[in-house]
Amino acid sequence: MSDQNGNNPTLDGVSRRSFLGGVGSAALATVAMAGLTAHAQEREDTRKAEGDHSSSDPGPENQVLLKQNRNTNTPPPTDHGEIGPIWYSFDLARKRVEEGGWTHQVTQRELPSSKDLAGVNMRLTSGSFRELHWHTANEWAFMEYGKARVTVLNPDGTMFIDDIGEGDLWFFPAGYPHSIQGLGADGCQFLLVFDEGNFSEDNTFLLSEFVAHTPPDVLMKNSNLSATDIAKLPKEQLYIFPAELPQSLAADRAAIGGSRVQAPQQYTFKMASMEPTKKTAGGEVRIVDSRNFPVSTSVAAGLVRLKPGAIRELHWHPNASEWQFWLAGSGRMTIVMPDGRARTMDFNANDVGFVPAVAGHYIENTGDTDVVFLEMFKAPQFLDVSLNNWIRRMPPEMATAHLNLDAAALKKIPSEKQEIIAG
């Protein structure tokens, strides 16, 4: 994901672009909760002033974890009740290391709340393959680092081959056989997202196992291979394995039959190089779903960049739960659920976040560098509802009755959806 100095050329390139004019303060976005927050903070300050040590911890502490999880360990006074797990980190997930790369995953087993999506982080060295395979779930992917060549076969026999780089996406339908091969001097690293919460990267259908567990005489009948040829086939799974770098993309396309067998679908998408869907003084977001990437029928995504102090405005998603992957920076998120339940968590690079369907939330950059994260949904389209937009679309007397704000105060709230609000 980053070079030796910790920089990602693709993602850092986005941050160097000029931004459009500013928008309203982040404080205005939280106006609906301002009274509750102020009252709770006043109680907390009073306890401290009176010498109350209720939140002190004189016992042993893991200072490294505490530093990264201040809001998790000692939550803001607006938190209440329990909403279930909303955080896990790939840094806690066991890596399966093979010659040629590694893989590890965050699924419903690690993050029980996430029933719709699961994620796999994978590394391939130069020339190494993720063996030809297929699986029961649709596969959506984001290239974090380096370059790769991908292939996918359609049931009608047409073949798609393409090279992808940092910030690019692909989508492979369930049951369609495909491969990934690392290119360049250092291969690649990428995030795979599957639309099955209990998906397991160890439970895929592999070419090597198909031929290893088919009787040799059947293989001979099926393929016209000789007994000598059959004896050379792999006897166990390859999974991830080293190989020589391929020919040029043009040469590979020509070698399989050129335009005669070329797939009509486009299974890759250049996300990082697209124009931002929304850009403000606080950052930008790129949205990719079935409207601009037609093959991606079951996963919609947004690539979000927040400048220091900026927030992803208070909002919710009406059509799906949200699965996040944090690429850079540090921030926090609060999720608000029915019956007054609320939970705040801290997030850092390589973390996974989860937001239940239709739950209100925000994301705030609490660090001094840009936050970059993906938000993904098991849905054909990316949809969100803005709290500010809703308040301003109400008749003023309706908003006043609910929020106890007069007309002058209501006019301070941005009337249009902002997505990102500067700090």
* Annotated binding-site positions for Mn(2+): 133, 135, 139, 178, 315, 317, 322, 361
Contact 176, 117 (CB under 8 A): no
Phi/psi for 153 (5° steps) reads -105, 130
Residue 388 falls in which region: left (phi positive, over 0), alpha (psi -120 to 50) or beta: alpha
- DSSP structure class, residue 69: -
Token pair of 317 as six digits:
């998603």
Starting at the edge strand found earlier in the chain, the sheet holding 96-98 runs: 96-98, 101-106, 118-124, 188-194, 139-146, 168-172, 268-270
Binding residues: 133, 135, 139, 178, 315, 317, 322, 361
- Whether the Cβ atoms of residue 398 and residue 260 lie closer than 8 Å to each other: no
Whether the CB-CB separation of 149 and 183 falls below 8 Å is answered with yes
Distance of CA 139 to the CA centre of its chain: 13
* Catalytic residue chosen out of the listed positions 98, 375, 397, 419: 375
Q: Which residues make Cβ contacts (< 8 Å) with residue 175, sequence separation at least 6?
A: 134, 135, 136
Q: Which two tokens stand for residue 19?
A: 């931004």
Question: Is the four-CA dihedral 3, 141, 165, 126 of positive or negative sign?
Answer: positive
Count CB neighbours of 223 within 10 A. 13
With beta carbons less than 8 A apart as the criterion, state whether 197 and 113 touch.
no
CB-based burial of residue 385 (10 Å sphere; 0-12 exposed, 13-18 middle, 19+ buried)? middle
99: annotated active-site residue? no
List C-alpha distances in Å: 43 to 40, 107, 109, 191, 304.
Answer: 5, 39, 39, 44, 35
Distance of CA 157 to the CA centre of its chain: 31
Q: How many CB atoms lie within 10 A of CB 159?
A: 16
Q: Which residues pair with 194 in a beta bridge?
A: 118, 139
Q: Give phi and psi for 363, each to the nearest 5.
A: -135, 130
Distance CA 137, CA 74 (A): 39
Q: Tell me which H or E stretch contains 221.
A: helix 216-223
Positions marked catalytic: 375
